[in-house]
Structure 1
């Protein structure tokens, strides 16, 4: 593949990824190479490469010899958290052990920004929450761990909303973030891991309750 084809494949990948995450391409939607190529005004080669990458990411799956947007389900959400919780705990331990003075400033700054977001601004709250946790990942200085967490984040972003706006969760999450940051800054490795475990287990439970009770239309075409 030439450099030009690689750049086109990256563009197609980014566009399709964003459409899948936003829900514009719903779960189960077929992804035909020729159709995507025509829609995006490119040849089939970069589309095939983009679909290969999306399949590797778990956002596209093969069903009856046809590529489709991967399905969503409560079980899949549980499975994501089953992997995410120990990885986030490992990230908290790594950040506690290896954070630099710059990491420390970033964590404090992003935590303050998160605390200042009003609870009714769901989009801003979600963005600030993600940046805070990404700063924890960065403070691990572990590229493999960061890569795994970024991939899991892609999966999670396909599911509706953050857990933070549910009744009682906003204040609980604020308290959990405070406790988690305190342990990381104190370089208390074991406590940081335990607090991350508590935080993400609670987030999982809230998101599963929300997902199970959500209207099917708001969830897209889920597959069990």
Structure 2
């Protein structure tokens, strides 16, 4: 139930701000109200739904929220990259390089695959930092951003640019240069934030 409702929200089957009534959802998905209630609780934790005056609803979108999410994400991604530079092992580097190679081989005609490949590189870097709290927080922030389905990577020139930026971060991690890894990751995510705001402004979110 959770997976189905989450997928529909992310896909835009429900408008932002739409009421999520337990009885109606139970009928829609052919289930009882109990799994619907549990799914809504989990989706609220994910940041995909929120409590309104008349119950649960799909969380609304705003440029202010984009700024809030990225303000935290920029800081955490930079910290994660610095930690990876300090704490990584050889196996971590192999996994990061493998994810980067998979990203480079991804079909650029498939925005969903592009976003997945990009996220895989970031997740390998997070893991190399050996800080479960940072990984948990970044995962939650990514959940928030799934409500903005248009990927920044589909913007002209961004895919090639992002791959090059990843390469710089990875090289800094390999060199155990925590300061450089931090700064490159910060700049990488700052560019992503600016593109995300432009997409929202253009009405393509």
**Unaligned ranges ≥5, structure 2:** none
1:92 and 2:109 are equivalent in the alignment: no
Shift of 1:105: 0.5
TM-score, structure 2 as length reference: 0.93
2:113 paired residue number: 124
Q: 1:47 to 1:160 in 2, by over 3 A?
A: closer
Task: Tell me which stretches of 4 or more aligned residues in structure 1 moved more than 4 Å.
Answer: none
Counterpart of 2:190? 201
Q: Equivalent residue for 2:34?
A: 45
- C-alpha contact 1:21 1:154 (8 A) present in aligned 2: no
User: CA deviation digits over 1:24-49, x for unaligned, max 9?
Assistant: 22211211111112222332222222
Identify which of 41, 59, 70 aligns with 1:81: 70
Please name the residue that 1:133 is paired with: 122
Find the partner of 1:184 among 162, 173, 176.
173
Structure 1: where are the runs of 5+ without partners? 1-11, 220-224
CA distance in 1, matches of 2:112, 2:83: 28
Give TM-score scaled by structure 1 length: 0.85
Coordinate RMSD, CA, aligned: 1.6
Q: Is the Cα contact below 8 Å between 2:127 and 2:135 reproduced in 1? A: yes
- What is the aligned residue count? 205
Three-state SS of the structure 2 residue aligned to 1:42 is coil
Q: Deviations over 1:75-121 (max 9, x none)?
A: 21111111111011111111111112211101111111212235444
Seen in structure 2, the aligned counterparts of structure 1 residues 39 and 118 have a Cα distance that, compared at 3 Å, is closer
- Deviations, residues 165-184 of structure 1 (Å, cap 9, x unaligned): 21232232222111111011
